[in-house]
Structure 1
């Protein structure tokens, strides 16, 4: 008879295999052209997708957990003409994009869309001359961490961004840095005076010893 330990290990192995099972899907299964097609999205936990994922003409927040499991995309991610989607298209687990005829990521003509791509993205390649296309979106911003992730993930040494986005940065508080500059200057002045005093006092002691 099998021991309890052996049975537990067997069950654990089965669970690991099940959890890491690869589910292959076609890009059309995760593509939508209007609000009515959202309900037709596949319910499979797709991990590897072949073909472009095209998301267009959606005009309100949606519950679309279908994108959460996607890890590899052999095609382009295209999001166009959407309104107030927020982070409904969540691709936090996306690790690789291998595009062909189009830029790897095309995001244009959207309002209120958050680019929900995480730091796990480690490889982006495309045969197109442009790697990333971001245009005519509002608000038209990209955080520095997002730009860094996309830049470092690109297979090209110098990926081309075609974008009208600007970086989302926070303005420095001038008074705060002015205060610390003043404090640092005072400390430097005090230290300089102290060093001069020590050096002069040391020379006097040396003269006394010589005499």
Structure 2
């Protein structure tokens, strides 16, 4: 019995000592502070939220005295968007394909035969080639690729202006791109001015180093011929 009482007394003393150590270390106060910190919002986060609201509002950004005396910088982003809209509008107008004309196989064959006959009549005093018109030549892109062998043999080795002379001697300046071997700027104006459509055939006669005489054979002439 005495041993049991001694054991209980020893355990009670050990508990008292542990409580005393906890009081000394103030661990319970520390744990309470941790719990309180986790339940309350951070003051730093509040300040950041208010700052972000101020930036998003109509309040102008603060500028230093040195920068405040300088003129406002242009809004390049707005200018770019305006420019992009203009390009889209003009590009959309240029690519209005609602009035496209699609040639039949008979119309294409007729125009090609007529162009070959004209080529024989013109003779071989000047280099000649025939170019049937496709949609990419007369609508949308307005790019005219020239025969590679002809370009390598007769045309300039660098970009130059090439003049197109129609059957009434009106002249149109076009930009010849030597690397791509085709006509770029100016070809669109020529195509529109002469109302070229899919299936037409053009006979190009090189009368000078950078000048073509151009003859147009209309695919629609098929319906005017005696077939």
Coarse TM-score class (shorter-chain normalised):
under 0.3
The structure with more radius of gyration = 2
Using CA pairs under 8 Å that are at least 6 residues apart, name the structure with larger relative contact order, 1 or 2: 2
**Greater share of helix:** 2
The normalised TM-score by structure 1 is: 0.24
**Greater share of strand:** 1
The normalised TM-score by structure 2 is: 0.22
